[in-house]
Structure 1
Amino acid sequence: MHNMLTKLSLVLILVLFISACDTNCISVTDEELEKIGKLIFINEGAGKVENLTTWNEGEEFASLGIGHFIWYPKDKEYRFYEIFPIAYEFIKSEGTNPPDWMEEMPVFDLPWDSREEFYSDFQTPQMVSLRQFLLETIPQQSLFMAGRLEKSLPKILEAAPEESHKHIKKQFFRVANSPMGIYVLVDYVNFKGEGILESERYNARGWGLLQVLEGMEGTEEGLPALQEFADGAERVLLRRVRNSPPERGEKRWIPGWKNRIKTYTSDEVAAYYVSGSQTKEPDYSNLMESIQRIYKDLVCGLR
């Protein structure tokens, strides 16, 4: 675990430094990456094991793992980016052992065709083994999500008009160089994507990281940068809801989205995030107890 996080720390430092050119190098510690993973698990699933496998009402796909990675049923494709198969391959590449039934699938599609079927099988050996796999690979999922941020800025710049590149980079590193800024960026890019896919738009308007950065105008780092990012995130998500097809009923997601964004400027989350370093390797056999304690101490009242 330590070697894996150290490897990503060095990669992030190098990539962010090269991308910044005129920006200070951003250092991401092992402890920071561990905390990012735990906080995202809290944001996505309240730190509960059963929320590692979910299928939200009104959606066409299951959401799996601490990042609620999308996985579509067979022969069904929708506008949202299906990322679980990519995350799964990465997790396997880190030396983990998935359930046999997952490796034996002839086509890697979600084996449940509907939300009703998904929850009727919720306590079957197949589903339980999936949750156990996702629980045991939380460190690898955290690593995958941090890696997604590493790749996001080049993708965003490639998709954006050249004249906006300087502004986007400035705002990206303005947030990244702020205390807790890497958590904010990792969380949002895994929450709502890079904002570069044409399929992830309503009325030609996106809601990803690109759209938030485009709308930022300030220059100061620290809390002003995080607050402006949070305000911008809320703004593009409310616009998404206004532009969404009425039959999707996306208005019901607004309270949860707002509460998640509140963690970007929360004193309680910041206190946890910048707390002292651990002196020994975390015990992942007791991870759920740890996450539930963090949730109770830090995030109750925010969701």
Structure 2
Amino acid sequence: MKLVSTLSKLALAISLSLSLSFAAPNIQISPTELQRVGEQIYKNETGGKLDNLAVWNVGENFPSLGIGHFIWYKAGEAAHFEETFPSLVLFLQQNGAQLPAILKQHRTAPWKTREAFNTAKSRGELNELMQFLANTKDLQALFIYQRLQAALQKMQSVSTFPDFI
């Protein structure tokens, strides 16, 4: 993916969000700043380690993927938290990212257990997915940014003190 193209998309998304006519909270951030934020999230959340872009934590029934620890449920799993990975995948695809084979083949997480996930990971079966996630950090940051904008608008709409959000 070309950085210039991605930065152009970031700039467009930011300018569109900043030009909304209603009085919604707006976080003003340039494409360069957004890219730096994505890199910082990556460092903070993974320790700068590619391997930590795909994890399945002890006590959880799902893997967490990407810089935002996006949840990906297996088929039939009760959703106790908001599943965000499928939305991220769609967003990445809509923004020109070429999906790795595993995402083309599976709409839900293909591992039934944490052990199966870790076995697949140790065999290198998640390498293409983790590299894909590393290569799309900038778009993941934009996805997080857009979710933040939407969340701030919702919070402001129900707040007694919307100007303080």
The CA deviation at 1:166 is: 4.3
Classify the secondary structure of the residue corresponding to 1:150: helix
The CA deviation at 1:126 is: 3.0
The answer (yes or no) to whether the contact 2:75–2:108 under 8 Å persists in 1 is yes
RMSD in angstroms over aligned alpha carbons? Answer: 2.0
The CA deviation at 1:153 is: 2.4
Count of aligned positions: 160
Q: Which amino acid aligns with 2:163?
A: K
Deviates more, 1:77-86 or 1:119-128: 119-128
The CA deviation at 1:133 is: 1.1
Q: Which runs of 5+ in 1 are unaligned?
A: 173-303
Higher RCO (CA-CA < 8 Å; seq separation 6+): 2
Residue 7 of structure 1, aligned match among 9, 12, 16: 12
Q: Which residue of 1 aligns with 2:153?
A: 154
> Could you say which structure has the larger radius of gyration?
1
**Residue 47 in structure 1 maps to residue 48 in structure 2:** yes
Q: Which residue of 2 aligns with 1:170?
A: 163
Q: Which amino acid aligns with 1:19?
A: A
Q: 1:14 to 1:124 in 2, by over 3 A?
A: farther
The answer (yes or no) to whether the contact 1:12–1:27 under 8 Å persists in 2 is no
How far apart, CA to CA, are the structure 2 residues paired with 1:100 and 1:89? 14
Deviations 1:86-144 (A, max 9, x none): 01100010111111232133xx1101111111111113343111111111111111111
Classify the secondary structure of the residue corresponding to 2:71: strand
The CA deviation at 1:171 is: 2.1
Matches within 5 A, 1:274-293: none
Q: Which residue of 2 aligns with 1:120?
A: 119
Question: Would you tell me which structure has more helix in proportion to its own residues?
Answer: 1
Q: Give every structure 1 segment of 4 or more consecutive aligned residues whose post-TM-superposition deviation is greater than 4 Å.
A: none
Matches within 5 A, 1:219-258: none
How far apart, CA to CA, are the structure 1 residues paired with 2:101 and 2:79? 28
How far apart, CA to CA, are the structure 2 residues paired with 1:34 and 1:9? 12
Deviates more, 1:95-104 or 1:55-64: 95-104
How far apart, CA to CA, are the structure 2 residues paired with 1:44 and 1:73? 23
Classify the secondary structure of the residue corresponding to 1:154: helix
The two structures have a TM-score, normalised by structure 2, of 0.87
Q: Which residue of 2 aligns with 1:18?
A: 22
Q: Which amino acid aligns with 1:48?
A: K
Deviations 1:164-203 (A, max 9, x none): x341x2222xxxxxxxxxxxxxxxxxxxxxxxxxxxxxxx
